[in-house]
């Protein structure tokens, strides 16, 4: 092998390595950007109700993931907004893949508000369920409208022994369920 061929092969290897590193950095940056600007569309990009398809965008800071570990007296809040870019749409706000490990589920309560007006409350659903509605009635978001929501979960501090719930958690994914 001639010295010129050896240097040419090294240059090719160096260029390929540099391109591979740049592509890797670009892929990581894109994934990181997507993570930090998380917008999630519920049930896909569109929701169909009464044969009308509406584009609905749910904006959540962390993909709507709900993971809560609490001690008695704690309160957890999650805020999100829903924007409708199609025909008027009615739906329920729910939790998908719900898992509530607490042995005293009656001590875990929630309040759901829309624009500071209560639209759901009660004992947080317990056990493991495919989904559970949090809004008592259907919610309507009109075309071009954005509504803001807040889910507040409270672990009531009672006079009973609640030590069995140490380390227990609630998890799931907030989403909207069409009628």
Please state whether beta strands 65-69 and 89-100 pair in parallel, antiparallel, or not at all (unpaired).
Answer: unpaired
Q: How many CA atoms lie within 13 A of 157 on its CB side?
A: 5
Say which residues have a Cβ less than 8 Å from residue 104's Cβ, sequence separation at least 6: 158, 160, 162, 164, 165
Q: Which of 16-30, 37-51, 60-74, 124-138 has the lowest mean pLDDT?
A: 37-51
pTM passes above 0.85:
no
pLDDT band at 9 (very low <50, low <70, confident <90, very high): low
pLDDT digits (tens, 9 = 90+) for 90-127: 888 888 888 888 888 889 999 999 999 999 999 988 88
Residue 156: closest CA among 123, 120, 131: 123
**Which residues have a Cβ under 8 Å from the Cβ of 90 and sit 6 or more positions away?**
49, 138, 139, 140, 179
């Amino acid at each position: 092998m001639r010295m010129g061929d050896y240097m040419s092969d090294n240059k090719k290897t160096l260029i390929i390595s540099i391109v591979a590193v740049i592509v890797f950095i670009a892929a990581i940056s894109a994934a990181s950007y997507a993570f930090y600007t998380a917008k999630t569309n519920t049930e896909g990009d569109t929701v169909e109700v009464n044969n009308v398809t509406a584009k609905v965008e749910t904006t959540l800071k962390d993909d709507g993931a709900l993971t809560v570990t609490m001690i008695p007296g704690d309160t957890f809040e999650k805020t999100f907004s829903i924007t409708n870019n199609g025909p008027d749409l009615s739906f329920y706000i729910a939790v998908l893949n719900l898992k509530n490990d607490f042995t005293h589920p009656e001590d875990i309560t929630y309040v759901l508000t829309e624009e500071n007006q209560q639209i759901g409350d009660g004992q947080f659903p317990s056990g493991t369920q495919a989904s559970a509605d949090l809004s008592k009635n259907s919610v309507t978001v009109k075309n071009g409208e954005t509504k803001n929501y807040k889910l507040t979960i409270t672990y009531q501090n009672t006079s009973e022994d609640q030590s069995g719930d140490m380390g227990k958690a609630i998890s799931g994914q907030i989403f909207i369920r069409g009628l």
